[in-house]
Amino acid sequence: MHNLPTLCSHRRARSLWRPLPPGPRPLPFVGNLLDMPQVRMWEGFRDLSAKYGDMIRLRMFSQDMVVLGSPGVIFELLDRRSANSSDRKQTPSIPLMGHDTTFGLMSAGQTWKNHRRAFWQQFNPTAVTKYYAMQREMAYRLVGMMFKEPTELEKNLQDSIAAMLVRTLYGFDAQDRNDRVLKLVWDCIEGTRELLISGGFLMDFFPILRFAPSFVPFQRKLARWRTMNEHFKDELFAQYKAELKTQERDAYPCMVGEVIASLTDGSGSEHMLASAEHIAKSITLDAVNAGTDTTTSILQTIFFAMSLYPSVQAKAHAELDAVVGPDRLPDFSDRESLVYLDAIIKETMRWMPSTPLGLTHCTREDDIVNGHFIPAGTVLLGNIWACLHDSAVYDDPETFRPERFLCDGRLDPDARDPGELSFGFGRRICPGRHFGLAALYINVASALHVFDFSPPVDAHGREIRIEPRMVSGFVSRAEDARCTVKPRPERAKLIRGPRRT
């Protein structure tokens, strides 16, 4: 403790020597609460960056925050300096709602490394191929769902992606949309949505509130979400173990079993088995929270974009017809040849990124960046949307134009891939990104090969023109993504009985 004054004096000296990043003047007590954008925060932060620069300092009560508004400062702070910026701010609400074992929200440390390593071993570029057959089957099943219920596109996408993830994690085939398993998925996502959309709870700024009585509304909410998270992990794992005993297993590999096998390595140690099971159960929560809403959002946005840009859809249809042909559905063997389809996915991730601001990072130590002092414990927020809508990098950024990623019929290596921003940075880059991109590919290719997407119509059959606008939230999507889904006449036969090569 005798070194504390020296450390504090050193911090003050560094702060005075280098100025803090610019930003609006904070008010007493509340800080910059009134300066925070209320709707589509990424647009408001973009406007603040135009005034103050690509590093904006804001203060929420007692918490320092720096908004990063350009790829240069984002990559400098969150990627090249990730040893100092890869932490997550630990708040009282995280353990109270059952996310203390979620490695995506953990503080950087050995436990985080162990969980993340176990996850990455199952979803790295080589390992992810073992899930291709299952992803293909689920994509073909989605095509059938879209044919039977063309007006229920959003619901079908949500249930299909949730079912795919459950099957990946545990090997359960949740066919019925009322299946108890799918309900567990959406229940556990509910609380995470609230936490990430709101940016936290008042208790996170005033920790003493965590001692509020259990009957206080926010305490009841947190307790309910914690129960939902525990039910998801415990009930599905119990079902998994029960099916192991009866040999009622899916033909496809499942992550939980693979993780336990790799961590125990055939050992009969009860302690090692318990530790492996704990890690396997915990990372399933990361998978559903990170993969369900985001993948659904991107798929829905792609089909919405096709309805708005028929010339783009026509080019995609032409490419699919040439590569895949009329007698089968697309497969992963077609992936490298479907270049325009790849460009459509990239353009969707740029046009309406599913996580416009990403997850916040937190500095572990004081730092100096571009002449500005960044104190330890500062929350860092990258404005991904603003970077992907920078007209200096992407000409006419509000227009959906996949050709911006192509050159001479191939992907342009000089065009900035939106995935460099959309999947996170440094040591916190999304470890499931290869699985997610594979799911996007096979679902988009299969649906576009069979269906035509057009604008919705009113009661008189007239097209309804929908303006593309994103909804506010941690995971965003088109505010109104209605479209008409109809089978392409020459492809309807594939829905009844697709043949694979």
Neighbours of 259 (CB within 10 A): 24
Longest pairwise C-alpha distance within the chain:
80
Find the angle CA(124)-CA(186)-CA(235) to the nearest 5 degrees: 80
Query: Using the 8-state DSSP alphabet, how is residue 148 labeled?
Result: H
Smallest CA-to-CA distance from 299 within 137, 436, 126 is with 436
Which ranges of 41-152 would DSSP assign to H, the alpha helix? 41-52, 71-74, 82-85, 93-96, 110-123, 132-148
β 63-68/379-382 pair status: parallel
Kindly report the three-state secondary structure assignment for every residue of 285-348.
HHHHHHHHHHHHHHHHHHHHHHHHCHHHHHHHHHHHHHHCCCCCCCCHHHHHHCHHHHHHHHHH
Tell me how far apart the alpha carbons of residues 96 and 91 are, in angstroms, rounded to a whole number: 9
Q: Is 430 annotated as a binding residue?
A: yes
**E strands, 335-427, where?**
361-362, 367-369, 372-374, 379-382, 406-407, 410-411
Query: Treating both helix axes as pointing N-terminal to C-terminal, what angle do 310-323 and 433-450 enclose, rounded to 10 degrees?
Result: 90
**E strands, 389-431, where?**
406-407, 410-411
Spatial CB neighbours of 7, under 8 Å, sequence gap ≥ 6 = none
Burial of 332 (0-12, 13-18, 19+ CB in 10 A): middle
| Pair 379, 388: CB distance under 8 Å | no
Tell me how far apart the alpha carbons of residues 75 and 58 are, in angstroms, rounded to a whole number: 20
Tell me how far apart the alpha carbons of residues 381 and 70 are, in angstroms, rounded to a whole number: 11
The 8 Å CB, 24+ separation contacts for 10-17 are 11/366, 11/375, 14/366, 14/368, 14/373, 15/373, 15/375, 17/373
CA dihedral for 89, 94, 95, 99, sign (positive or negative): negative
Residues of the binding site? 430
Residues of the binding site for heme? 430
